[in-house]
Structure 1
Amino acid sequence: MKPFHWESTHGNFGDDLNLWLWDFLLPGLRDVHEETLLVGVGTVLNTLILPLEGRKLVIGSGFGYGSLPDMRDANEWDIRCVRGPLTAEKVGLPQDMGIVDPAVMVTEMPEFKNLPKSKRRTFVPHWESAAAGIWPEICKTVGLSYLDPRGEAKAVIREIATSELIVAESMHGAILADAFRVPWVAVSTSRAINSFKWNDWARSLEVTYAPKLIPVSTRAEAIAKGARFWGVGFERDGQAVDEQEKRRQGETMVLADPEQTRLRVMAKQALAVPSALGLWQASKAKPQLSADATLANRKQRLWDVLEGVRRDYL
């Protein structure tokens, strides 16, 4: 059985943890039932993402984009649970089958236990913000550590786990923060963001998704998101994000083309002052954290699901 991994071109730690989390939760799964695909962490219940053919075992996946596949054939779909009550409703399942995002189980892995805490207050942007914005520079001005969600998944998770506060535009930034008992504040740089998946997870843990709105940091970011920048509205252009990706150097985003002058760079930073102010204000807002008992309950229910999978498949 192979875990499904949506390998995005830009990289995203929330998707990439499927590469190793299931080997811990269900050891030996790769050696059995080659005909079955394990569909786990991610907003992947989508006809454009999942392969059409083959049997699928669903454990904690979410809906949020595109169209749901037809999941009525029990011979083709073994649905044990989904991410939250909103996905459960969409799929036509009882709400109690919307348990929680399986990423919370990362905290059970020995390598992530008893990590030393730091004084870092960390911003985890959405990958589009990371690709098209100048958020590393902004973070320096507001006293936040910047964490790129496109980095290697285990390294990103360790940074989240050891922070004292997470300001999250990345949903899995908030999910992992909550799982590691790190207070978090949700933010958004676009009013057009798909809030369904956030609310799906938030309701599973009885918390509220009410993001602090922050202006985009650059014109390129506004174009990539179809947002406004200094009063000017832009049509969304996904190709703009791809162009920004081409300028990436390792884990460092090039903030300006080589031919641009230092004055031009300073001008871009000046135009990002509203973004800096918004991020600073968000970092001072009252953070959230689900109740210990609620999180423990959801994890136990997921353990029970996993025990049933072990019994039936392993």
Structure 2
Amino acid sequence: MTPFYWESDHGNFGDDLNLWLWDFLLPGFRDVHPDVLLVGVGTVLNRALLPAEGKKLVIGSGFGYGALPDTSDRSVWDIRAVRGPRTAEKLGIDPALGIIDPAVMVAEMPEFRDLPKTGRTIFVPHWESTIGSIWPTVCQTVGVTYVDPRGEAKAVIKAIAQSQLVIAESMHAAILADAFRVPWVAVTTSEEINGFKWADWAETVEVAYRPRHVPVSSRNEAMHKGARFWGVRFENKWRAEEDPNKRGGDSLVMTRAEPRQSAVRTMAKQVLAAPSALALWQASKAAPQLSDDAVLARRKERFLEVIAGVRRDYL
């Protein structure tokens, strides 16, 4: 059995955790059924992503980009669970199969248990918000720790587990925070953020997706996203060359080298990022969200029943 996940050139911890999570949940799965593709964590139920040939075992994946694959042939598609009820509805399957995002099970792994708390408030942006932005500088201004979602997955997850509050533009930052019982605040910097997939997960743990708006941090970030910066709407000049349907600073985890800039230019950028800094500071003081312990426990129990069924049928 081969695990499938969206592998990007830049890295994204929410996708990269597929590399080791399934070895914990299904030990030995790689040694059986070489013809079966295990479709796990991620918004990967997409016709442009998944191969048409070969059997697919779906455990917790979600829809959110592009066009759905034709899953009507049950000899090819073994759908045991999807991320949430909205994905289940799109697929036309039993809503009860919209259980939860499998990433919550990371909190059950021994290496992530009983980690010491740092007391930090952290900000984990969507990976696209790292391009052309100055979020590390903005975070430093307001006393928030910046965590780059492109960093090594286990390092990012430990930073989330050890924090006291997570400001999350990355959906998996909120999912992991909730799994580790760390309060979180959802934010969004542009219309690029996919509200469907957020709501898909949020409904499983009975919370509402109500993101706070935080303005983009720089003109370059606005140009990349086609967003507004200081009242000016920029066209999407640097849209990632990756087809979106294929998902379609001072960093605690990772930094990217940037050209040296004059002190005056750096100061000017910081001044222009003042609205971003204010909104991020306000987010750090906002009332956070956290699902109910019992609700999360029930969902995880149902997911473990699915895992037990997969073990029984495949291992």
Q: TM-score, normalised by structure 1?
A: 0.95
- State how far apart, in whole Å, the 1-side matches of 2:172 and 2:28 are: 26
Q: Which residue in 2 is equivalent to 1:34?
A: 34
- State how far apart, in whole Å, the 2-side matches of 1:264 and 1:253 are: 19
> Shift in Å at residue 51 of structure 1?
1.8
The partner residue of 1:253 within 245, 251, 256 is 256
User: Which amino acid in 1 is paired with 2:2?
Assistant: K
- Which secondary structure does the structure 2 equivalent of 1:253 belong to? coil
Name whichever of 128-137 and 59-68 sits farther off.
128-137
- Which secondary structure does the structure 1 equivalent of 2:156 belong to? helix
Write the deviation string for residues 123-174 of structure 1: whole angstroms up to 9, x where unpaired. Answer: 1111111222101111111111110010000011000000000000000000
Equivalent residue runs for 1:1-314 within 5 Å: 1-239=1-239, 251-255=254-258, 257-258=259-260, 260-314=261-315
User: Which amino acid in 2 is paired with 1:253?
Assistant: R
> Shift in Å at residue 254 of structure 1?
3.7
Q: Given the superposition, is the C-alpha separation of residues 192 and 153 from structure 1 closer, same or farther in structure 2, using an over 3 Å criterion? A: closer
> Shift in Å at residue 49 of structure 1?
1.5
> Shift in Å at residue 94 of structure 1?
1.4
Q: Structure 1: which 5+ runs fail to align?
A: none
User: Which amino acid in 2 is paired with 1:127?
Assistant: W
- Which secondary structure does the structure 1 equivalent of 2:17 belong to? helix
- Which secondary structure does the structure 2 equivalent of 1:59 belong to? strand
- Which secondary structure does the structure 1 equivalent of 2:27 belong to? coil
Q: Structure 2: which 5+ runs fail to align?
A: 243-248
The question of whether the paired residues in 2 share the 8 Å contact of 1:226 and 1:235 is answered with yes
- Which secondary structure does the structure 2 equivalent of 1:71 belong to? coil
Write the deviation string for residues 40-76 of structure 1: whole angstroms up to 9, x where unpaired. Answer: 0000000111122211000000000000000010011
> Shift in Å at residue 238 of structure 1?
4.2
The aligned length equals 307
The question of whether the paired residues in 2 share the 8 Å contact of 1:84 and 1:98 is answered with yes
- State how far apart, in whole Å, the 1-side matches of 2:168 and 2:34 are: 37
Q: Given the superposition, is the C-alpha separation of residues 305 and 51 from structure 1 closer, same or farther in structure 2, using an over 3 Å criterion? A: same
- Which secondary structure does the structure 1 equivalent of 2:103 belong to? helix
User: Which amino acid in 2 is paired with 1:185?
Assistant: V
> Shift in Å at residue 234 of structure 1?
1.3
User: Which amino acid in 2 is paired with 1:252?
Assistant: T
- State how far apart, in whole Å, the 2-side matches of 1:97 and 1:23 are: 22
The question of whether the paired residues in 1 share the 8 Å contact of 2:125 and 2:169 is answered with yes
User: Which amino acid in 1 is paired with 2:278?
Assistant: L
> Shift in Å at residue 236 of structure 1?
2.1
RMSD over aligned Cα, in angstroms? 1.7
Write the deviation string for residues 20-43 of structure 1: whole angstroms up to 9, x where unpaired. Answer: 000000001000000000000000
Q: Which has the higher contact order (CA 8 A, sep 6+)?
A: 2
User: Which amino acid in 1 is paired with 2:220?
Assistant: A
- Which secondary structure does the structure 2 equivalent of 1:200 belong to? helix
Q: Given the superposition, is the C-alpha separation of residues 94 and 41 from structure 1 closer, same or farther in structure 2, using an over 3 Å criterion? A: same
User: Which amino acid in 2 is paired with 1:212?
Assistant: R
